[in-house]
Amino acid sequence: MAKVANLETPIGWLIDPHNKWVIHFDFKQLSSEKIATDFTIDMWGVVPSGKPMQFKSRRKVTKQDFQKTWQQLIDSNWVEFDYEKSKTA
């Protein structure tokens, strides 16, 4: 899991225990001072090859909701997913 330096927030991908869904946690920097950010949570369906290929939805959330959702998924047995590795497979 990567962490954003000034935000102390995880970014990256989580995959569900049944390998059917992946969720991408990311942010866009809105200012050069890194004060305001736009947090997004994207849900993707996983195709049989194991790659996230079917975009389902996007939510823009606060930093607190972003962190809370990440932790809830980890607590529900979701695990980190290496998207870069899946692209080369």
What pLDDT, in 10s, does the model give residues 36-85? 568 999 999 988 877 778 899 999 998 899 999 999 999 999 999 886 66
Kindly state the average pLDDT of the residues 6-30.
Answer: 86
Q: What is the pTM of this model?
A: 0.77
Alpha-carbon span 60 to 41, nearest angstrom: 7
Q: How many CA atoms lie within 13 A of 47 on its CB side?
A: 8
- Please report the pLDDT score of residue 82 as a whole number: 80
- Please report the pLDDT score of residue 52 as a whole number: 74
- Please report the pLDDT score of residue 85 as a whole number: 64
Strands (E), the chain: 2-3, 10-15, 21-29, 37-46, 52-61, 79-81
- Please report the pLDDT score of residue 49 as a whole number: 76
- Please report the pLDDT score of residue 37 as a whole number: 63
